[in-house]
Amino acid sequence: MITHDLVILGTGPAGMAAATMALEHGITPVVIDEQPAAGGQIYRALERTPVRDRQILGEDYWSGESLIKGLKDPQIDYRPATTVWQLTRQREIGLLHDDKAEMICARHIILATGAMERPMPIPGWTLPGVMTAGSGQILLKSAGAVPQAPVVLAGCGPLLLLLATQYLRAGVEIAAILDTTPRDRYRAALKHVPGALRNASTLLKGVGLLRELRRAGVRHIKGVSALRAEGSGQLERVLWKQQGDDNWQTLETPTLLLHQGVIPNTQITRAVDCHHEWDEQQLAWKPRLDEWLGTDIPGIAVAGDGGGIVGAKAAGMQGQLAGLGAALALGKLTLENSTQRAQPIRKALARDTAIRPFLDVLYRPAKQWRLPDDDTLACRCEEVTGGEVRRMAEMGCRGPNQTKSFTRCGMGPCQGRMCGITVSELLADANQQSVEETGYYRLRPPFKPITLGQLAKAAEEG
């Protein structure tokens, strides 16, 4: 097994910035990414997007160009289209590329595996035609594809508004934005505005998006308190209720894009059993990290949204910090030098993330978007409903590992990615205990399914 100094997983802003920083300090990293092209989700398909009108995707998207250029330095061993299916606490990494399994080892690892969208388990969310706002944006970036018929966007969060304006600029007809931000949330978020002003440019960008939507006359329905998708075998209509109104309203549409913010993708940090904690502010699990973004496992660090949602720009800064941390750990920098080098980055990071408390409060997903009702699927793969999970709690299941034997909840193809947070929260709610106490699925390799044939071969070659 070959041992590398540094292996970075992911080529979003954090992974790319970490690679560049490491290289600057004499480390030649291996950078692994599942996607065929660099950029992560935020700069997805940047080098080859068919959307050539730069105004549609906006300047923030195109700002990823310099990071990608940095990644393409010939000294960096960049390996696209490569899946990581195993990582051990001894830093052995199982890779899968072109149907071939391989093991490598690293002295230091930076996980930059980013975020995923928070599941939004509403009635009908498994119907074809119901997708996420993120998926809509990925289709736009990577294939220049947009909804054919007037689309409904539902939920809350910056990404939903950004997608709406990108659609607007691309000439896509938006039937409505169903905004689930509770009305009292604006007032609650107000007290975080002074802090957020430290990152005024981002705040202003948000205001600009809202203004752009308003000017274009997009139907923006606020205070949506209930939502369901209906259709036979396929989405046909969206129904919603507004706060203070008990009547269902309806829109016919073949495409509904849901969004309820993003959460750290902790699949890999969970599987190596890093210490995780529940972040009540962001309503999500995240690994506990030290000042160099190291986990409690020696030689494994996390940069970017995978360690707690910070946004693309801050993720890049964290990538730089993690890169310095790697240089420190590998003896390329003294503690003094790395601390000095890190100081301005930490400062900029603090400024950039000053907007988080405001966003976290404003877009905190209300309970009805996180806890599915009794008839709605929590686990999409194995088709387990919210009611079934609640019954597991009644039977005495205190945590999500105990429910698996009764319902197969979390045991389908997505390996618990889609239902993990929902089941933890459902059980915590039903048992009236904290999410922290309730815990999370015990995850084990493979992180992505691997065939027996590939596994049998991996040992021969390892």
Partner 1 sequence: MSRRVVVVGAGFHGCSAALRLSNQGYEVTVIDKAYAGRHASGVNAGGVRRLGRHPAEIPLAIAAWERWQNMTSIVGDDCGFRPVGQIKVAESDNDMAILTERERQVHNLGFHHEKLINRDELRKRLPALAGHCPGGLACDGDGFANPYRTVTAWRREAERQGACFREGIEITGIEPKGNGWRLSGGEEHFDADLLVNCAGAWAGELCKWLGEPVPLTAEAPMLMITERLSPFLGTVVGATSRPLSFKQFENGTVLIGGGVRGVVDTVRHVAETRLDGLSENADTVVSLFPFMKEARIMRTWAGVEAVMQDHIPVIGLSSQHDNVIHAFGFSAHGYQLGPITGEIVADLAMEREPKLPITPFSIQRFQTPCPE
Partner 2 sequence: MFKRLSPPEATNEAVVTFRFDEQTVTARPGDTVAAALLTSGISICRSTPVSNAPRAPYCMMGVCFECLVEVDGNPNVQACQVEVRDGMHVHTQQGARRLIS
335 binds, among partner 2, partner 1, none (CB under 5 to 8 A by kind): none
Residues 382-401 that bind partner 2 (CB under 8 A): 382-383
Of 138 and 221, CB closest to partner 2? 138
Q: For residue 214, what are the CA distances in angstroms to 149, 164, 209, 220, 240?
A: 21, 11, 9, 8, 21
Contact call for residues 107 and 3 (beta carbons, < 8 A): yes
Binding mask 250-289 for partner 2 (x = CB under 8 A): ----xx---------x------------------------
Partners of 95 in the β-ladder: 84, 102
Candidates 62-70, 179-187, 414-422, 435-443 — which segment interacts with partner 2 by CB under 8 A? 414-422
Please state the closest distance from residue 410 (CB atom) to partner 1, in A. 10
Candidates 292-300, 390-398, 412-420, 428-436 — which segment interacts with partner 2 by CB under 8 A? 412-420
Complete DSSP assignment for 23-70: HHTT---EEE-SSSSSSTTTTTTTTT-S---HHHH-HHHHTTHHHHHH
Please state the closest distance from residue 451 (CB atom) to partner 2, in A. 9
Neighbours of 283 (CB within 10 A): 19
**Could you give the count of Cα atoms lying within 13 Å of 85 in the half-sphere of its Cβ?**
21
**Candidate list 21, 45, 209, 297; residue touching partner 2; CB under 8 A:** 45
**Candidate list 117, 305, 352, 388; residue touching partner 2; CB under 8 A:** 117
| Chain residues in the site for partner 1 (CB under 8 A) | 86, 88-89, 92, 94, 103, 273, 395-396, 398-399, 402, 404-406, 408, 411-413, 415, 442, 444-446, 449-453, 455-460, 462
**Candidate list 138, 361, 450, 455; residue touching partner 2; CB under 8 A:** 138
Query: SS in 3 state form for 208-252?
Result: HHHHHHHHCCCCEECCEEEEEEECCCCCCEEEEEECCCCCCEEEE
Cα 297 from Cα 286, distance rounded (Å)? 14
Q: How many residues does the chain have?
A: 462
Q: Does 449 bind partner 2 (CB under 8 A)?
A: yes
Contact call for residues 308 and 280 (beta carbons, < 8 A): no
Number of residues forming the site for partner 2 (CB under 8 A): 47
Of 348 and 450, CB closest to partner 1? 450
Residues 355-384 that bind partner 2 (CB under 8 A): 380-383
Please state the closest distance from residue 305 (CB atom) to partner 2, in A. 13
130 binds, among partner 2, partner 1, none (CB under 5 to 8 A by kind): partner 2
Of 212 and 273, CB closest to partner 1? 273
**Candidate list 1, 149, 188, 395; residue touching partner 2; CB under 8 A:** 149
Residue 325 structure tokens: 């941390």
134 binds, among partner 1, partner 2, none (CB under 5 to 8 A by kind): partner 2
Of 64 and 287, CB closest to partner 1? 287
Q: What is the H or E stretch that residue 92 is in?
A: strand 92-97
Please state the closest distance from residue 48 (CB atom) to partner 2, in A. 5
33 binds, among partner 1, partner 2, none (CB under 5 to 8 A by kind): none
Cα 324 from Cα 284, distance rounded (Å)? 27
Residue 124 structure tokens: 């009908």
25 binds, among partner 2, partner 1, none (CB under 5 to 8 A by kind): none
| Helix ranges, 272-333 (H) | 312-329
Q: What is the H or E stretch that residue 423 is in?
A: helix 420-431
E-state strands within 294-430: 300-302, 377-379, 384-385
Partners of 176 in the β-ladder: 152
Q: Is 305 helix (H, G, I), strand (E, B) or coil?
A: helix
Angle, CA of 424, 277 and 291, to the nearest 5°? 155
459 binds, among partner 2, partner 1, none (CB under 5 to 8 A by kind): partner 1
405 binds, among partner 1, partner 2, none (CB under 5 to 8 A by kind): partner 1
Q: Does 203 bind partner 2 (CB under 8 A)?
A: no
Residue 354 carries which DSSP code? G
Footprint of partner 2 on this chain (CB under 8 A)?
34-37, 41, 45, 48, 50-51, 116-117, 126, 128-132, 134-135, 138-139, 142-149, 170-171, 233-234, 254-255, 265, 380-383, 412-415, 417-418, 449
